[in-house]
Amino acid sequence: MLNKAEIEEWVKYGDMDLESAKYLLNMKPIPYEVICYHCQQAVEKYIKAYIVSRDEELNKIHDLIELNKICKKHNKNFENIDTMCSELNNYAVIVRYPFHTLDLEEIDVKKALKYATEIREFITSQLSK
């Protein structure tokens, strides 16, 4: 049974991550890793909102590529966000710990924010259908 409140809660928490990422742009120095992590987290929550909206059971996975595969079973248009999910996926774990292998710059942060925003717009448009 479709639980509208649960879907809205997933989107709300995704929005908190995305807004946090935008807010952190004001810090000096800019915490690139933290911002990229919040972008990945936002997208994970938006995707999970869609999965819940399709009455699918949520598995405790954080891999955006795997989560997006579940969405594509219901809607082939999710292929349009494959590349963005793939790029954001690296920010789930690697950037959260010291000595990570990603050298992030301002351009990476801008791209992560752009992708997270575009994915939010796409998924919320799909949720309203």
CATH number at residue 90: 1.20.120.330
Name the token pair of 59.
Answer: 């598995």
What pLDDT shows up at residue 97?
Answer: 66
> Hey, what amino acid is at 18?
L
CA gap 35, 85 in Å, rounded: 16
What pLDDT shows up at residue 75?
Answer: 97
* Residues 101 and 94 sit within 8 Å (Cβ to Cβ): yes
How many domains are there within the chain? 1
What pLDDT shows up at residue 101?
Answer: 66
What pLDDT shows up at residue 95?
Answer: 63
Q: Which domain holds residue 104?
A: 4-127
Bond prior to 98 in cis (omega within 30° of 0): no
> Hey, what amino acid is at 32?
Y
CA gap 30, 1 in Å, rounded: 43
Q: Which residues contact 111 (CB under 8 A, 6 or more apart)?
A: 87
| Diameter over CA atoms, the chain | 47
Burial-class residue 71 by CB neighbours within 10 Å (0-12, 13-18, 19+): buried
* Residue-by-residue pLDDT tens, the chain, 129 positions: 568 999 999 999 999 999 999 999 999 999 999 999 999 999 999 999 999 999 998 989 999 999 999 999 999 999 999 999 999 998 987 766 676 667 889 999 999 999 999 999 999 999 987
